[in-house]
Amino acid sequence: MKKIEINPMTRLEGHGKITIFLDEQGNVDNAFMQVVEFMGYEKFLIGMPIEEVPRTVSTICGV
């Protein structure tokens, strides 16, 4: 099975890639979009004073 990778997906913030699988005839058998990054704000924000959170989570995406 032939595999085509489009990496990275562009004109967006955050990293993603697209993987396309082709069958024997060259037709698309299946395609996947993956978000390849993981941040972890859910955990590391715990304990932060609430008034500091808005200016911190604004860096989840700055676009």
The CB-of-38 to another protein minimum distance in angstroms stands at 6
Total residues at the site for another protein (CB under 8 A)? 40
Instruction: Give me the 2-41 binding string for another protein, x by CB under 8 A, dash otherwise.
Output: -x--xxxxxxxxxxx--x-x--------x-x-x-xxxxx-
Q: List phi, psi (to 5°) of 9.
A: -70, 140
Residues whose CB falls within 8 Å of the CB of residue 45, separated by 6 or more in sequence, listed in order: 53, 56, 57
Residues that bind another protein (CB under 8 A): 1, 3, 6-16, 19, 21, 30, 32, 34, 36-40, 42-44, 47-52, 55-56, 58-63
